[in-house]
Chain A
Amino acid sequence: MTCPYLEYRRSDGDQEFDHERPYCGVTEEFVSPMKADICNDRFQFDHESDCELYKDHVERLAEEPVADDD
């Protein structure tokens, strides 16, 4: 399953391209074609186990205090 943070964009405000390119929603940067394999879980790569960025992000989210409902 593709990483939920993977997007395809033409522009990030600084860089603009003719075609959409892989973009990481965690780092808010375009990713290299090599990393895009991981983001797409190709060739038995798995973003959940193979991407440090994903793991760190998920851990940080789990540690964040849950907001009160009041």
Chain B
Amino acid sequence: MSYQHYLDQRKLILTVATTGGVHGKDANPNLPEQPDEIARQVRECEKLGAAIVHVHGRDERGENDPERLQAVNDAIREECDDIVIQNTTGGQSPYENRVAGIRTDPPPEMASLDMGPFNRGQHIITEHTRHNIESLAREMKEKGVKPELEVFNNGHLNETYRLIEKDILDPPYYINVILGPGTFTIPTPENLLNMVNNLPEESHFNVLATGPHQLPLTTMGAILGGHVRVGMEDNLYYDRGEPAQSNAQLVERSVEIIERMGRDLATPDEARDILGIE
């Protein structure tokens, strides 16, 4: 994907990540946690043009709970028209929690697949061993779940090539380039460009950037012919010091910018076509 794709007005897939596993309502009370409130916000975002929703499950106290993924999936299907559900397999630590994201009934059309570990807090490294990553990828392939390959840094791009060489992934590869603090890629335009220049053939990329980097770097991703993810999982603020009122508020702003730049949003069905989801 390239600037030429932007000039050619290729369709852009907008993903909304409403909830995540890091922040709670204590940080922003507008962040949805329970299945019904997540589904209502997803519906608003779908109406604005989001084609994919990235999903995490929380228990009643706001803590991560992969068993809640089923209830969130059910509520989204009930509330929304056709949005593509992408469950997380990354947010929770042990393998049995990760794999819960692809064992819902029915399985989601997509799931995230972290390409390696990253730091959490002061002492924790997420347990993404190569063995676990390959097991998840193989089960996704068996079930027809399209992986969104989470590339938190340059090294994870090496890991992506490794999986491609081992023939574990099917093209087109959907790569989420993640920029932010800690062990994520340092969030600068130069680094985004560098990541994009290093992508494998036959890939589509999506840009995820945290906090104040969400708006500028996703906009840059759109100019580079990529796709965009926004939402309160990655950014709790609408502006400096101004907490986001909802996921829809963040989605609406991105949609306006993307459309003004002359790119059309992909519908959920067009996103399925672009990504080879059957």
Which A residues form the contact surface with B (CB < 8 A)?
8, 15, 17, 19-22, 29-38, 40, 42-43, 45, 49-52
Roughly how many angstroms separate A40 CA and B63 CA in the complex, as a whole number?
11
Chain B residue contacts of A37, Cβ below 8 A: 63-64, 93
Q: Is B225 an interface residue (CB 8 A)?
A: no
Chain A residue contacts of B26, Cβ below 8 A: 15, 21, 29-32
A17→B25 contact, CB < 8 A: yes
Roughly how many angstroms separate A25 CA and B190 CA in the complex, as a whole number?
43
A32→B24 contact, CB < 8 A: yes
Q: Is B22 an interface residue (CB 8 A)?
A: yes
B121→A35 contact, CB < 8 A: yes
A43→B58 contact, CB < 8 A: no
Main secondary structure of the interface of A (DSSP, over half): mixed
Main secondary structure of the interface of B (DSSP, over half): loop
Q: 6 closest Cβ contacts across the A-B interface?
A: A30-B26, A43-B93, A50-B123, A33-B63, A19-B60, A34-B22
B62→A49 contact, CB < 8 A: no
Which B residues form the contact surface with A (CB < 8 A)?
21-27, 29, 58, 60-64, 92-94, 120-124
Find B61's partner among A22, A43, A45, A49 (CB 8 Å cutoff): A22
Chain A nearest CB, measured from B119 CB (Å): 12
B61→A8 contact, CB < 8 A: yes
B21→A34 contact, CB < 8 A: yes
Roughly how many angstroms separate A19 CA and B22 CA in the complex, as a whole number?
18
Roughly how many angstroms separate A19 CA and B58 CA in the complex, as a whole number?
12
A50→B63 contact, CB < 8 A: no
A50→B124 contact, CB < 8 A: yes
Roughly how many angstroms separate A25 CA and B225 CA in the complex, as a whole number?
49
B121→A19 contact, CB < 8 A: no
A19→B123 contact, CB < 8 A: no
Roughly how many angstroms separate A1 CA and B60 CA in the complex, as a whole number?
21
Roughly how many angstroms separate A12 CA and B21 CA in the complex, as a whole number?
22
